[in-house]
């Protein structure tokens, strides 16, 4: 019999609630442990430009990764809403002490000018928040499709996989299998407080 896949809306509600209810000390410990795994990874060491995000409501906080990147002279970017109004993400340079402002969804973004923005194709590594991920590298996000639209070019590349896409999550956000749509963009790897998982283009975990 075919495996019954979880309902994305129900799973999203369940895992967002679990994530938001984490005690602060647990969230900090998970974030620190996941960050150590990222910084020790080949993907981080090889990246000259990387993007992270501002953590919200129990998401794994990539701040320690950002600090490590600055210490090593890497360029760090954060996602910003496209100035073209096309529901895609661009990425703005993020420097120590950079002023921030809230976008229309209440998410902090660096205060940017057009010369500060790059497209995702220019990045070596993107750290992505997520609600759930599975053994194939499928990712369940918040439901807005911003990352999938912004990274759609990755689905059409067979040999050049830049930028590398790495999800950050708590271990409890792993599920065996998620529904997958043709427009979904898969992860190359995922980091939790306990594991570093890597995925092939054929969706087999190695």
> How many Å apart are CA 184 and CA 48, to the nearest integer?
26
Q: What's the distance, Cα to Cα, between the start and end of the chain in Å? A: 26
Torsions phi, psi for 35 (to 5 deg): -60, -40
142: β partners: none
Query: With bands split at pLDDT 50, 70 and 90, how would you rate the model's confidence at 154?
Result: confident
Q: Where are the domains of the chain?
A: 8-195
pLDDT of residue 113: 86
Q: What is the mean pLDDT of the chain?
A: 90
Query: With bands split at pLDDT 50, 70 and 90, how would you rate the model's confidence at 1?
Result: very low
pLDDT exceeds cutoff 70 at 206: no
Query: Percent of the chain, pLDDT > 70?
Result: 93
pLDDT of residue 182: 82
Q: Please state which architecture CATH assigns to domain 8-195.
A: 3-Layer(aba) Sandwich (3.40)
pLDDT of residue 14: 95
Q: What share of the chain is helix, strand, coil (3-state, %, to 5)?
A: 30, 20, 50
pLDDT of residue 139: 95
Q: pLDDT tens, 16-73?
A: 999 999 999 999 999 999 999 999 999 999 999 999 999 999 999 999 999 999 999 9
Do 51 and 91 contact (CB within 8 A), yes or no?
Answer: yes
For the entire predicted model, the pTM comes to: 0.91
């Amino acid at each position: 019999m075919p495996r019954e896949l979880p309902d994305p809306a129900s799973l999203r509600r369940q895992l967002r609630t679990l994530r938001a209810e984490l005690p602060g000390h647990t969230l900090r410990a998970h974030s620190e442990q996941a960050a150590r795994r990222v910084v020790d990874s080949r993907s981080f060491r090889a990246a000259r430009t990387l993007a992270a995000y501002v953590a919200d409501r129990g998401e794994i906080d990539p701040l320690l990764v950002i600090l490590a990147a600055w210490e090593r002279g890497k360029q760090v970017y954060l996602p910003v809403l496209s100035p073209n109004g096309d529901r895609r993400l661009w990425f703005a340079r993020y420097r120590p002490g950079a002023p921030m402002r809230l976008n229309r969804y209440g998410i902090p973004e660096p205060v940017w000018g057009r010369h500060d923005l790059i497209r995702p194709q220019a990045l070596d590594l993107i750290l992505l928040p997520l609600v759930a991920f599975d053994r194939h590298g499928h990712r369940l996000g918040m439901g807005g499709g911003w990352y999938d639209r912004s990274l759609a070019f990755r689905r059409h590349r067979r040999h050049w996989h830049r930028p590398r896409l790495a999800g950050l999550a708590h271990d409890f956000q792993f599920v065996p299998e998620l529904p997958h749509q043709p427009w979904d963009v898969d992860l190359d790897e995922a980091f939790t407080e306990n594991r570093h998982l890597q995925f092939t283009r054929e969706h087999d975990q190695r």
